[in-house]
Structures are given as structure tokens and as C-alpha cells.
């Protein structure tokens, strides 16, 4: 990392050691990641449930959404213990790398130490618990389907806070929950982090879980082994990072060279939205535009330079929204809606599009087009799209430039015999001696070799020892979340109960079936006219899952 910082002064890393010199905390972020945070750092998602190294230290990636709604990586950290102090150090270091810019909102799992650290370091940031983790805990702690569905309603039902509190008390009374140590009581204490009424109007960009971080962890985990060192893990992380940035570059090229298709009779607003938003975001905006046909105005309130429209859906007239249009010097200056979609997702809602159409506005106001969803989101930044774990040699750069120049010169020289002879003489003189060392021959044969490391002066640096293996909480799993899942039991035969086969291949069942078939054939040879009398003893032949009456002989 220090060699990387020598080549890239904006590369940031910081580490923490214990009293014996063992590494217990590490955070790093390259130049491009820091620039990405400057453009897209309004919502940060991170998760610490993966342990992808031989020291069992949690790997914590900080990710977000870019202008294509793709995962963008802001930085990564590794800590030895999941304590308040460790997470506080991690968040403070992250803020230091990002010039003390705090995110607007944060999405994490339900780790209590992480929650306390966020309240201390980022007190003004909104915090939401990952809905996916909550759903996993619902299955683990609630065993009745009706109770589960009723609990899920508290996650998504955006009623008033008073209504939520009333429903929650009734919910506990119906299910006779009185213990303060129960999981439901613990979730109630954290209700401001997951209940919809407390999260209404807050900017989370449509994210409700840390699946962005989960998917990155999963991708990293695909080719990682539990015995990998931190250096091996960092190399693999850089390869994944390069792939992410390559995908972003491809999406940028598509967005710059094309415009999403719109119908010939599309409105001016829709055509303008197709030009300013990225293609991915335009698909979401188009959904709101198509929903305009279901809107209707129920009331208009005029005031000085302020007009309020009360809008409702045709099929839900009882639910109304207020669209406020602020005027400045006779033109529309700002527009907002009480549904708060523009503030939460960063895209205009159908109510706003409906009012803009009523007012015959042909161009979206600037307040309706957040820069983070446009191609201008990174216009002020250098077009760096790759990880620079290995820098090219200066000789390789010069070689490429000369090769490009020589192609054009050779093409022109071959048109004339005089020019051909002159260029050939120049190249022969420049080539010099044909004898070269073995190392130079290998370089010509296999191409330039990229440097794997750079020598730096380590005389004044403190010696950092390998981390101490961390004993994780609970069972020793590679991933902490896996402790919620039971180990799949081996398949057993439903007839004999022996492992290794099922009813279709059970030899014991086949033998039993053959004996019954021979018995039925013997019975079939009996006189069909003979009927059993009431005094006859009736035997019962046992067949798997059935009872067949038999006539006594």
C-alpha cells in the first residue's frame, strides 16, 4: 500500500496496531473511490458479516449507488474485533479519507456495536436496518405465519406514528408478549431504524437492504479461500474493483452515444427526461410518466407566487397529495410533492409530472433533475475508470506511442520505393546491434513485464506484525449470517429409514413388493364365485400406506 501511495499521492490507507505490533484495523480507498464518494456518497451501505481471510477478520466494504444505479465502491476496511471502539475507528477513518463528508443515510445490518458507532461518529446521518436481515430474523423468531405477516406490515405500512404505536400495542396484546427480553421487544426498541412511519421522507434512494454490499461480498467470496492472507485478499479485491469500473465505463459509453427510445407522440417532458437522465434512471422516470393518466386534480389553492394542487389517483380518491409550485419572476422556480418521492428517490413522482403537464411545461425544472442521476455527475472529475494496482512501466507507454506512430509512417513509406529505402535505413541504424542479453530477448519474446512491487525506504516505518486470529462470535463460520441456517441433513429413505437412498431405489421395498405380488397372484387363482362368509376370519395384508382385505383360506 505504501508503494501504491508513492505512485498515487491521493491513495489513502490507514492501519491500527495493538500494543504488541499486530495489525487489528485497516482501511483503504484509492483515488477513484474517493472521487466516486464525492459524487455518490449520499447513501452508504456496509456489512460486516463476511470473514474472508485466514485471520477470521471481518471484511467491511463501503458501497453505494452510481448514476446508473450500479454498485460503486467507496472503500474497504478490516477490523479484528466487532466492538464500539473498532467501528468508531473505522468510521472516523472513512470520514478522514472522504474529507469529513458524512453520508445523508446509512444502511447496515443489526449489529449493536455498529449502531452505537454510527450515533457517535455520524450523528446527523439517517440510519436504517437492512430489511433482508430483519426478514431472516422473522423466520427465526416467529413461527406462526399470521404473526409473521402482521409483523411485516410494520416494515412497509407508512401510516402515522400514532397509528403505528396503537397497532403495535394491540399486536403484542394479541400474541401475549410480556417479556422485555423477547425479540419483539428488542425490535420495538429499535423501531426508528426499520419502521416505515419513522423513515418516511428520508433519502435512501430506494434501497431497503444491504444487498449491494452482500453482492460484492458474494462476488469476492466466490474465488476466495478461508486460508488466504490479507495480501491475497487485497489482490482479489482489486481485480473485482477493476471489473466493476469496466462495467461502469461501458454503461457510460452507451449513455453518451445513444438516447432511450420514446414513442413518436411522447410528451416534451418525456423526451427531455430521456436526454438528461441516464438510460437506467429514465426507465424509472418513465414509469412515473405513464402513471400520469391515473391522476386527477381535486382542488387548487392560489397564493402569492405559490400555487398548491391537491392531486389524487382515480382509483384512490381518498388518498390525496399536495403539489406545491413556487414561482419566481413569473416562471416556475421549485416544485415539490407531499409524497416525498423526489426527496427520497431523487426522481419526480407522477403527481409532479401531472401538474407540469397541466401547466404546459416542456422542460423539467432543475430541481427535478438531481445531478447524481445524469451523465454530468462526474463531469468535473478525471475520467479514471480502472484500478491501478499495477502501474505500467514508462517504457511500455513509450513503446505504445512509438508503435502507433510507426504504423502511419510505414503505411506512407510503402507507397514509394525511395521512402521505403529511407525508412528502412533509419530503422536499421536505430536498431543497432542485433545481439542482446538473454533478459532482453525474453522481454521481446514475451512482451514487457509489469512490476509487481516497488522498492521503498522502510527505515523509518514501524514494523507491523500479522494479525492475531480472531475468534468470531458464535459458531466458527466463514460468514456470520450462516449461523442462522441449519445444516442440511442427509437424505433418508421414507420406507426403511436408512441413509443413502430413497423409496425409488430401496431394495427392501422392492423385495416386499415382490412378495406381495406373488401372494396376490395366488389369491387370483381362487374361485371368483366364492364369497367370504361373516364367520370367516378376515386377514389384513399390510402394504405401504394402504390396507388390503384378504379372504381366509
What sign does the dihedral 329-331-337-343 (CA atoms) show?
negative
Q: In what order do the strands lie in the sheet with 126-129?
A: 12-17, 23-29, 71-79, 59-65, 43-46, 105-108, 126-129
Other Cβ atoms less than 10 A from the Cβ of 42: the count is 19
Residue 469: predicted pLDDT: 59
Quick one: average pLDDT of 239-249? 87
Quick one: average pLDDT of 96-107? 94
Quick one: average pLDDT of 306-315? 92
**Contact assessment for residue 53 and residue 115, using Cβ atoms and an 8 Å cutoff:** no
Cα 398 → chain centroid: 40
- Domain boundaries, given as residue ranges, for the chain: 2-247, 268-378, 394-428+437-446
Alpha carbon distances (Å) from 272 to 133, 260, 326: 39, 11, 21
Strand locations in 132-239, DSSP E? none
Question: Which of 24-28, 310-314, 524-528 shows the lowest per-residue confidence on average (mean pLDDT)?
Answer: 524-528
121 — pLDDT class (breaks 50, 70, 90):
very high
Q: Which residues contact 211 (CB under 8 A, 6 or more apart)?
A: 130, 132
Q: What does the alpha-carbon distance between residue 296 and residue 215 come to, in Å, rounded to a whole number? A: 41
Mean pLDDT estimate for the chain: 78
Question: Which of 143-147, 313-317, 344-348, 497-501 shows the lowest per-residue confidence on average (mean pLDDT)?
Answer: 497-501
DSSP 8-state code for residue 89 = H
Which of 347, 353, 377 is CA-nearest to residue 281? Answer: 347
Residues 468-481 have pLDDT tens digits of 655 555 444 444 44
Which of 379, 410, 531, 395 is CA-nearest to residue 67? Answer: 379
Residue 467: predicted pLDDT: 63
**Contact assessment for residue 212 and residue 132, using Cβ atoms and an 8 Å cutoff:** no
Quick one: average pLDDT of 222-231? 65
Residue 3: predicted pLDDT: 75
pLDDT at 231 > cutoff 50: yes
Quick one: average pLDDT of 368-383? 83
Please provide the size of the chain in residues: 553
pLDDT at 44 > cutoff 70: yes
543 — pLDDT class (breaks 50, 70, 90):
very low
Quick one: average pLDDT of 252-256? 91
Residues 175-214 have pLDDT tens digits of 888 777 789 988 999 999 999 889 888 889 888 765 555 5
225 — pLDDT class (breaks 50, 70, 90):
low
Residue 36's H or E segment, with its range, is helix 31-40
350 — pLDDT class (breaks 50, 70, 90):
very high
**Contact assessment for residue 47 and residue 108, using Cβ atoms and an 8 Å cutoff:** yes
- Name which residue leads in pLDDT, 440 or 445: 440
pLDDT at 487 > cutoff 60: no
Which of 68, 76, 35, 9 is CA-nearest to residue 246? Answer: 68
272 — pLDDT class (breaks 50, 70, 90):
very high
Q: What does the alpha-carbon distance between residue 258 and residue 423 come to, in Å, rounded to a whole number? A: 43
- Name which residue leads in pLDDT, 536 or 23: 23
Quick one: average pLDDT of 365-371? 92
Strand 59-65 and strand 126-129: pairing? unpaired
Residue 519: predicted pLDDT: 67
Residue 95: predicted pLDDT: 95
> Which cell is 444 given?
521481446
pLDDT at 390 > cutoff 60: no
Residues 278-297 have pLDDT tens digits of 999 999 999 999 999 999 99
482 — pLDDT class (breaks 50, 70, 90):
very low
Classify the phi-psi angles of 255: left when phi > 0, otherwise alpha if psi is within -120 to 50, otherwise beta. alpha
Strand partners for 23: 17
Other Cβ atoms less than 10 A from the Cβ of 263: the count is 8
> Which cell is 490 given?
442427509
Quick one: what percent of the chain has pLDDT higher than 90? Answer: 32
DSSP 8-state code for residue 49 = -
4 — pLDDT class (breaks 50, 70, 90):
confident
409 — pLDDT class (breaks 50, 70, 90):
confident
304 — pLDDT class (breaks 50, 70, 90):
confident
550 — pLDDT class (breaks 50, 70, 90):
very low
Residue 194: predicted pLDDT: 92
Q: Which residues contact 62 (CB under 8 A, 6 or more apart)?
A: 44, 45, 46, 73, 74, 75, 76, 77, 94
Residue 79's SS3 state is strand
**Contact assessment for residue 552 and residue 539, using Cβ atoms and an 8 Å cutoff:** yes
Classify the phi-psi angles of 182: left when phi > 0, otherwise alpha if psi is within -120 to 50, otherwise beta. beta
Quick one: average pLDDT of 431-440? 49
Cα R_g (the chain), whole angstroms: 34
Residue 68's SS3 state is coil
Alpha carbon distances (Å) from 432 to 156, 429, 444: 76, 6, 15
Residue 471: predicted pLDDT: 55
- pTM over 0.75, yes/no: no
DSSP 8-state code for residue 366 = G
pLDDT at 96 > cutoff 90: yes
**In three state form, how does the secondary structure of 392-435 look?**
CCHHHHHHHHHHHHHHHHHHHHCCCHHHHHHHHHHHHHHHCCCC
Residue 384: predicted pLDDT: 52
- Name which residue leads in pLDDT, 240 or 437: 240
Amino acid at each position: 500500500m505504501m508503494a501504491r501511495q508513492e505512485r498515487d499521492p491521493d491513495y489513502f490507507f490507514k492501519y491500527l496496531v495493538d500494543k504488541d505490533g499486530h495489525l487489528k484495523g485497516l482501511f483503504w480507498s484509492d483515488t477513484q473511490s474517493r472521487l466516486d464518494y464525492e459524487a455518490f456518497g449520499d447513501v452508504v451501505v456496509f456489512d460486516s458479516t463476511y470473514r474472508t481471510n485466514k485471520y477470521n477478520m471481518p471484511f467491511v466494504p463501503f458501497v453505494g449507488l452510481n448514476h446508473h444505479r450500479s454498485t460503486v465502491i467507496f472503500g474497504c476496511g478490516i477490523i479484528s474485533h466487532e466492538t464500539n471502539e473498532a467501528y468508531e475507528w473505522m468510521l472516523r477513518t472513512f470520514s478522514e479519507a472522504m474529507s469529513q463528508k458524512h453520508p445523508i443515510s446509512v444502511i447496515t445490518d443489526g449489529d449493536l456495536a455498529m449502531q452505537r458507532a454510527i450515533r457517535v461518529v455520524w450523528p446527523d446521518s439517517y440510519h436504517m436496518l437492512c430489511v433482508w436481515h430483519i426478514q431472516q430474523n422473522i423466520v427465526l423468531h416467529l413461527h406462526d405465519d399470521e404473526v409473521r405477516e402482521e409483523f411485516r406490515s410494520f416494515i412497509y405500512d407508512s401510516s402515522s406514528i400514532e397509528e403505528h404505536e396503537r397497532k403495535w400495542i394491540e399486536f403484542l396484546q394479541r400474541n401475549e408478549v410480556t417479556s422485555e427480553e423477547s425479540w419483539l421487544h428488542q425490535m420495538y426498541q429499535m423501531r426508528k431504524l426499520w419502521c416505515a412511519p419513522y423513515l418516511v421522507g428520508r433519502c435512501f434512494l430506494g434501497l431497503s437492504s444491504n444487498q449491494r454490499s452482500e453482492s460484492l461480498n458474494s462476488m469476492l467470496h466466490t474465488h476466495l479461500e478461508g486460508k488466504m492472507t490479507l495480501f491475497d485478499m487485497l489482490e482479489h479485491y482489486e481485480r473485482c474493483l477493476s471489473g466493476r469500473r469496466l462495467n461502469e465505463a461501458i454503461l457510460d459509453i452507451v449513455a453518451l452515444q445513444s438516447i432511450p427510445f420514446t414513442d413518436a407522440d411522447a410528451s416534451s417532458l418525456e423526451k427531455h427526461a430521456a436526454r438528461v437522465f441516464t438510460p437506467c434512471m429514465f426507465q424509472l422516470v418513465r414509469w412515473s410518466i405513464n402513471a400520469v393518466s391515473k391522476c386527477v386534480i381535486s382542488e387548487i389553492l392560489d397564493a402569492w407566487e405559490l400555487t398548491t394542487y391537491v392531486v389524487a389517483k382515480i382509483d384512490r380518491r381518498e388518498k390525496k397529495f399536495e403539489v406545491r409550485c413556487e414561482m419566481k419572476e413569473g416562471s416556475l422556480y421549485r416544485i415539490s410533492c407531499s409524497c416525498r418521492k423526489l426527496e427520497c428517490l431523487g426522481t419526480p413522482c407522477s403527481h409532479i409530472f401531472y401538474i407540469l403537464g397541466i401547466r404546459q411545461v416542456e422542460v423539467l425544472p432543475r430541481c427535478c433533475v438531481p445531478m447524481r442521476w445524469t451523465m454530468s455527475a462526474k463531469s468535473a472529475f478525471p475520467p479514471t475508470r480502472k484500478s491501478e494496482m499495477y502501474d505500467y512501466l514508462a517504457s511500455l507507454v513509450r513503446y505504445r506511442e512509438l508503435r502507433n506512430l510507426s504504423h502511419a509512417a510505414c503505411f506512407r513509406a510503402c507507397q514509394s520505393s525511395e521512402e521505403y529505402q529511407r525508412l528502412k535505413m533509419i530503422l536499421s541504424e536505430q536498431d543497432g546491434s542485433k545481439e542482446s542479453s538473454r533478459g532482453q530477448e525474453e522481454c521481446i519474446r514475451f512482451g514487457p513485464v509489469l512490476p509487481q512491487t516497488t522498492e521503498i525506504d522502510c527505515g523509518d516505518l514501524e514494523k507491523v506484525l500479522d494479525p492475531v486470529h480472531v475468534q468470531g462470535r458464535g459458531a466458527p463460520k466463514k460468514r456470520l449470517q450462516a449461523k442462522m441456517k441449519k445444516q442440511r441433513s442427509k437424505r433418508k429413505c421414507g420406507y426403511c429409514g436408512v441413509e443413502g437412498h430413497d423409496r425409488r431405489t430401496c431394495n427392501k421395498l422392492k423385495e416386499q413388493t415382490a412378495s406381495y405380488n406373488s401372494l396376490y397372484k395366488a389369491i387370483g387363482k381362487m374361485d371368483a364365485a366364492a364369497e367370504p362368509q361373516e364367520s370367516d376370519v378376515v386377514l389384513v395384508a399390510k402394504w405401504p400406506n394402504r390396507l388390503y382385505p384378504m379372504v381366509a383360506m
